[in-house]
Amino acid sequence: MVVQQDQHQDPPAAREPGQGPGPAAVPGPEVPKAPTVEPDGGATLLGWLARMRREAPVWHAPNGHVHLFRHEDIMRVVTDPAVFSSDLVSKGSGGKQKPSGGQLLMLDPPDHGKLRRLVSKAFTAKMVAALEPRITEITEELLDAVAGADSFEMNDALANPLPVTVISMMLGVPGSDRDQFQQWANNLLAVDPEDPESVAGLSSTAEALGAYLQGFVDARRAEPQDDLISQLCAAEVDGEQLNDMEVINFSALLLLAGHITTSVLLGNLLMCLDERPELFKELREDRKLITPCIEETLRMRSPFTKVERVAMRDVEISGVQVASGSQLHLWLLSANRDDEVFDDPDTYDPDRHNAKQVAFGHGIHYCIGAPIARLEARIVLDLLLDRYTDVRVDRSEPVSFHGSNIFGARRLPLKVSRA
């Protein structure tokens, strides 16, 4: 368990696998940029976020970007798209460039609402519920593949193949290509939005993914199928069909961002339960606890560390001036540990009220795939509880973590005790 911290003390080393720094090593506003999740599993990053909430909640970094750490400030920004734009490309280039069509994450009203309403039809509560039997079947097949093992690597065995198979099924692309999808996702997730060279390296991955999806768009326009790409090809916004780039970009968003969200959530869920081993037994006896555990995991270990916006005019945030055109980094991971909102925020407590956690964002850009991620996590944990009396992180094997954008394990070895 990550124990409760006195609000006047820096947090100690992370409770995740790996060696964390001592309290004296926790950085703050004096360092030029945020620590990464790798190599200590987020120990240094969480300590830095705690200090920044107290000492510099609105922080002007040396590169000119502005970072926000408190729940209240972040909620203000994500609920005011007129002042804080998601279109980093246009605003960041002074209008010289524009994001390619269909980039839902970078659209502002009214364009965002038009596309969002269109694609939301595939993510209604009824549509998501209809996926449960197939998700259960896929999960059982993946667990059958490791049924005789006393240990397995979570991401290879389950956390990566399950969500990418599900989203591939929805889109109508072959699940057998999931290794390629994973490589593209890894390339994109390694990008540091504060590093221009890193951002420039996106082009080759984006071109390869675009060329792959173009083939399916061409095929579905010629011969529609019962899948999401066909629905997108046939859909209209303001009387006009989506063009190929719009269909490709939205499909890519689902294929990559959609599956990595669930993948990281599944690993984080097991890491949190590893710190509270008594909970696994309680969950086996009372499955109603599964949903509260998922919500508390989302709060404690938000899959995405932060999101970005651009200020559209000069504005003041918590008494600090932010200039028009400034790029803002909104630390969701920090907002979910704000002690002004959550009591004992560094304690894993599934009984707490988690309505204000922002792991999936908030406002018009709330994660469209959140219901599927929650459903997949519930099904996976339920089936693990059926098959095993205990699931623990295997600390005799190396655990590796994602870098700056994702808060979770890239490699998570597990030891299991079969029921």
Q: What is the pTM of this model?
A: 0.90
* Cα–Cα dist 297/360, whole Å: 12
Between CA 223 and CA 244 the distance in angstroms is 15
Residue 93's pLDDT is 67
pLDDT score recorded for residue 178: 82
**Parts of the chain with a pLDDT under 70:** 1-24, 92-94, 189-195, 198-201
Q: Are strands 409-411 and 236-237 parallel, antiparallel or unpaired?
A: unpaired
pLDDT of residue 198: 66
**Predicted local distance difference test score (pLDDT) of residue 39:** 85
CA dist., res. 345 & res. 337, Å (int): 5
User: So what's the pLDDT on residue 302?
Assistant: 96
pLDDT given at position 22: 47
Q: Would you state the pLDDT for residue 192?
A: 67
Q: HEC states along the chain?
A: CCCCCCCCCCCCCCCCCCCCCCHHHCCCCCCCCCCCCCCCCCHHHHHHHHHHHHHCCEEECCCCCEEECCHHHHHHHHCCCCCEECCHHHHHCCCCCCCCCCCHHHCCCCHHHHHHHHHHHHHCHHHHHHCHHHHHHHHHHHHHCCCCCCEEEHHHHHHCHHHHHHHHHHHCCCHHHHHHHHHHHHHHHCCCCCCHHHHHCHHHHHHHHHHHHHHHHHHHHHCCCCCHHHHHHHCEECCEECCHHHHHHHHHHHHHHHHHHHHHHHHHHHHHHHHCHHHHHHHHHCHHHHHHHHHHHHHHCCCECCEEEEECCCEEECCEEECCCCEEEECHHHHCCCCCCCCCCCCCCCCCCCCCCCCCCCHHHCCCCHHHHHHHHHHHHHHHHHHEEEEEECCCCCCEECCCCECCEEECEEEEEEC
Residue 246 burial (CB < 10 Å; 0-12/13-18/19+)? buried
Q: What is the dihedral of CA 154, 160, 165, 168, to 10 degrees?
A: 170
Tokens linked to 326: 């400034």
CB 242, CB 233: distance < 8 Å: yes
